[in-house]
Amino acid sequence: MRDDERFEIERAYDLLPHVIGASLACVWFRTNGIKKPNEDEFRKKTVEFFAILSGIESSYPDEEKFSEIRSYMKNRYNQEIEKIIQGKNPEIEKRYKRYVDYG
């Protein structure tokens, strides 16, 4: 698959972990009155909300012409989960720090 064929999917996975996962995690912690979750708690909750997107690749038909993009999406989703858990997604870490500093 050419880079230009997956450009939009790459951009989506650059944004979705913090736009969906971390944003919803912040609301969850705020609603529950938890002002200072630790990093692992925040990452875990972020993954729980990001998991809403699990299987999103199946929104494309199970046809040969979509097989590469479906595979790419599944792999990228799993990579993003690992990055969140390991603290290697800079946007998630930024959201965590902002939340504990400003709630």
Please say whether the beta carbons of 9 and 76 come within 8 A: yes
**Cα R_g (the chain), whole angstroms:** 15
84 contacts 11 by C-beta, under 8 angstroms: no
Domain count, the chain: 1
pLDDT at site 52: 96
State the pLDDT at residue 5: 78
The pLDDT, as a whole number, for residue 1 is: 61
Q: Determine the structural domain holding residue 94 and report its residue range.
A: 3-102
List the pLDDT tens digit at each of the 103 positions of the chain.
666 778 999 999 999 999 999 999 999 999 999 999 999 999 999 999 999 999 999 999 999 999 999 999 999 999 999 999 999 999 999 999 999 999 7
Nearest to 24 by CA among 57, 58, 51: 51
